[in-house]
Chains A and B, each alone.
Chain A
């Protein structure tokens, strides 16, 4: 038995030795490159993270071909956080302290984004939240060091509410995954729609567990409430099941449906010819750009990867663009200078000029709103327009009220 404790000790020592080795074997980086830490759910959400990474890489190759920023090449270090906030924090620590990255970016999931944002404020590191949609990131839980690129849940819901207010529908039903994002999305839609059309009534709210939808039951429950229109926030596999059951059981007949994010290729493409017809959605109609910067980006992407771009590709591209622009403006990698550079930063992107607002660090990137239809055996958006995000944000007073005073 004495041996056992000794052996336990030996194995512990061995473990420590391994840890030291890991410590020493830090990959030697090209000394002159500017490094950016990129933390994402590459395995857990591979279908979303890969196009995003492709977008980043495309932008980086363009930036570096043009000579980099402030005379140095720009480089991203990609790390997988398994979709766990705690793991993301650990990796952020490592990236900041060992890889000496200039700033961090990444995450798709809102909770990981919120954890990284809190980390950024505590450790005084810049974090550009590229994809997470949670409104809290820039408002209730906003801080000086966090900036957000993509148009938030609130902005996209407000765009759909604007469309909804133009119709005669009074009785609305909602269906959203049973977690923070779904709840935010329903609350934002309700708020925006009621502001525009106070007589609207919400007859039922359905909350399937995320990725565990019981689609048949949800469709029956919605049908029971006899709404005039339906607001859908489900996505991914849940959306596919919901659309299929709803179509089979005739739920969508004679009803206008609004789908948050439903038009994004990530969600629309897997539905193929079963994509819903006539839903009003936010998304990314890359296939219909005729010219201009949008088309240039799509062509470059198709040429580089031989696969169609997703919304994530665009966001990834714009993320790298934004960071390059901020560093260029700051002329330095010092955190405080970078922070100042991000405030009010203007970036020329495929969707047009966007600005990182001073009041809440939210960029004015907008979204495409259109109607779904099936074309050549696949779902597409038609009659779409690009809505500038700047027009779908709450008033400055309201933002100031929501956002904690900066330190």
Chain B
């Protein structure tokens, strides 16, 4: 009994940090609809800033003053980020902002490294709260008790702010209906800035308050990201009490998981999330998403047309150039372009789903990695010849997509995105943990192609034919009746259903197709590298895909491919410099701010302006919005 209570208290204490950080994310999403990937970075900044302040301010007063000051400082950093990076892109297509926040992650990572150095920092202990008390003979750290007491107070303060003050009323109104608030004459830009201040400040507080239980290091930002997304989704996006309940639920379950199922530490929270979303699709205290809330920001996509004769000829010339690449004699260029084609195919498959289907998947790497692992496992365990493994890889990935798609497509919008993320993480932890079969973190090695493809040049031709073929196939399908039906399901599900289109089935098939094509990319990958590791299906890989699709331009057919090729080339160049993350982050932010329709989309706009100085139709479209 004593142990049980002690464990419960540990869980509650752990929930404190999680709640503080997650509540900030939930607030930001609820009001601005921005999925803030950089929230983990604010948390990390909170830890480092708090640490530095605590070195200067002495005693118990100094400690708590440092915590509060940290919240203020990180909140102000959030304001800077919001004003410089996000304000210019509020009108961009939905979710485009997440690319900007990704750039912010990179910038903050390198700046933190510059300022605080590479070594881990051990957090100072809270003065006066270093000891333990014994509760039913079990030791409980006094700081844990302080955290447990503090959290409901913070929750109450936030609740008061949201439901009892004018600012809160506006915030709530904005959560429900942004246009309405604007119509009331409230300066929406400053409301968003205020919310960002609050949200980032909460993350900063979370970072500072966990110092006595840990410290600060450079991996904190990504390490907490998955957990806070899970908390926000389980609690219901935008709901503060929901975030609290979810934080407690996850933390307490985790403590018992550690004791009774020690191997469960990786998967537990994703299992909980999958279960909760299956029973309550919008989280514990979330509300159903208003139909039409998503996909309505920004100009609608333009109609697509078959490529003109000239465009086809250019593609043909390009392909001939591509196939002539090995003749340059640059072995490395061949390898580099092989990598790029593989990534382009992966991006194109995600773009098919995201651009044409309007289905924003946060877990597409599951199928890339899935394909790679299917091929790798067949070679390692069944000693399958490379050719057979290669053919079965897309089937395996497609089958995964059939199952995951069936589970996730019952949800829409951000909840769909989050469930795909959870599913991908489940798959990842399976691969990561089942070392007897998958090799775990040590991966599968010695998965090299068959003899006839072992030369870099021949593998390049193989990749070029399969990869470019796959991209062209996806493009063709976009023009096919199926591709049109997919777009119809996205544009107006009601109309599509009312004219005989089974939209769910169309989306399910598109999900499967996209998964299978990502599987092809994965199979190309595993044989080009000779090995595959779980990192090919982790969150960062899915994010890489999202970034390039948005960067290239969601609402254009070639956005995915162009974005992928551009970013891979830029990365290959930049990683040669020491502070490449800073440079890449700034570059991404610059592209986001200067080209809010993505690379292809913005080029197109520029071109239009040059061709037709006045465009009366655009005016008509905007006035109707």
Contacts and interface: CB of A to CB of B under 8 A. Distances in A.
Given A4-B604, A12-B561, A43-B581, A214 B531 contact: no
Interface in B213-237: 213-215, 217-220, 223, 227
A110 interface: yes
Contact of B529 (A50, A89, A94): A89
A332 interface: no
B255 A217 contact: yes
A1 interface: yes
Contacts of A117: 445
B335 interface: yes
Contacts of B304: 1
Interface in A269-301: 269-272, 274
A85 B440 contact: no
A8 B529 contact: no
Contact of A237 (B118, B125, B217, B340): B217
A141 B433 CA distance: 19
Contact of A178 (B227, B433, B446, B561): B433
Nearest to A48: B118
A134 B566 contact: no
Contacts of A394: none
Interface stretch (B24-32, B164-172, B283-291, B326-334): B326-334
B120 A214 contact: no
A178 B445 contact: no
Given A2-B308, A16-B321, A86-B529, A217 B557 contact: no
A212 B223 contact: yes
A269 B565 contact: no
A83 B113 CA distance: 16
A11 B119 CA distance: 41
Contacts of A245: 141, 213
A248 B132 contact: yes
A218 interface: yes
Interface in A63-90: 79-80, 82-86, 89-90
A271 B214 CA distance: 10
B463 to A, nearest CB: 13
Contacts of B320: none
A97 B332 contact: yes
A271 B332 contact: no
A80 to B, nearest CB: 5
B308 A217 contact: no
How many interface residues does chain B have, given as a range?
35 or more
A3 B608 contact: yes
Contacts of B321: 16
B246 to A, nearest CB: 16
Contacts of B121: 270
B65 to A, nearest CB: 23
Nearest to B601: A4
B536 A15 contact: no
Nearest to B439: A180
Contact of B337 (A19, A44, A207, A218): A19
A266 to B, nearest CB: 8
A114 B530 CA distance: 11
B25 to A, nearest CB: 18
B621 interface: no
Interface string B525-556: 10001111101100000000000000000001
Main secondary structure of the interface of B (DSSP, over half): helix
B125 to A, nearest CB: 8
Contacts of A94: 332, 335-336
A267 to B, nearest CB: 9
Given A183-B435, A217-B255, A244-B213, A118 B531 contact: yes
B515 to A, nearest CB: 20
B122 interface: yes
A3 B530 CA distance: 41
B179 interface: no
Nearest to B309: A2
Contact of B259 (A12, A43, A97, A224): A224
Given A141-B445, A209-B266, A218-B258, A80 B440 contact: no
Contacts of B125: 244
B576 interface: yes
Nearest to A13: B318
B607 interface: yes
A363 B314 CA distance: 56
A47 B118 contact: yes
A206 interface: yes
Contacts of B305: 1-2
B115 interface: no
A122 B262 contact: no
B318 A9 contact: yes
A46 interface: yes
B420 interface: no
Given A23-B332, A85-B443, A47 B535 contact: no
Contacts of B3: 220, 224
A8 to B, nearest CB: 4
A15 B576 contact: no
A15 B343 CA distance: 14
A43 B111 CA distance: 12
Given A2-B311, A84-B535, A178-B433, A7 B266 contact: no
A119 interface: yes
A220 B6 contact: yes
A211 interface: yes
A5 B442 contact: no
Nearest to B608: A3
A115 B581 contact: no
A23 B331 CA distance: 10
A111 interface: yes
B561 A22 contact: no
Contact of A208 (B265, B336, B443): B265
Interface string B457-469: 0000000000000
Given A110-B441, A216-B13, A249-B132, A85 B258 contact: no
B566 A11 contact: yes
B302 interface: yes
A136 B442 contact: yes
Nearest to B534: A111
Contacts of A270: 119-122, 215
A89 B529 CA distance: 6
A240 B217 CA distance: 11
A181 interface: yes
A13 B565 CA distance: 10
A162 interface: no
A93 interface: yes
A46 B118 contact: yes
Contacts of B265: 178, 207-209, 212, 214
Given A114-B443, A249-B141, A217 B529 contact: no
A235 to B, nearest CB: 10
Interface of A: 1-13, 15-16, 18-20, 22-23, 42-44, 46-47, 50, 79-80, 82-86, 89-90, 93-94, 97-98, 110-111, 114-115, 117-119, 121-122, 134, 136, 141, 178-181, 183, 204-209, 211-212, 214-218, 220-221, 224, 236-237, 240-241, 244-245, 248-250, 269-272, 274
29 contacts: A4-B558, A5-B308, A8-B556, A9-B318, A13-B318, A15-B569, A42-B578, A46-B118, A46-B218, A47-B118, A86-B529, A111-B441, A111-B443, A111-B533, A111-B535, A115-B531, A118-B445, A122-B454, A179-B432, A207-B265, A216-B14, A216-B255, A217-B254, A224-B259, A237-B217, A248-B130, A248-B131, A248-B139, A270-B120
Given A10-B603, A94-B335, A244-B213, 17 more contacts: A8-B556, A12-B565, A16-B321, A43-B113, A46-B218, A82-B575, A86-B529, A86-B532, A115-B445, A115-B529, A117-B445, A212-B223, A214-B10, A214-B14, A217-B14, A220-B7, A249-B139
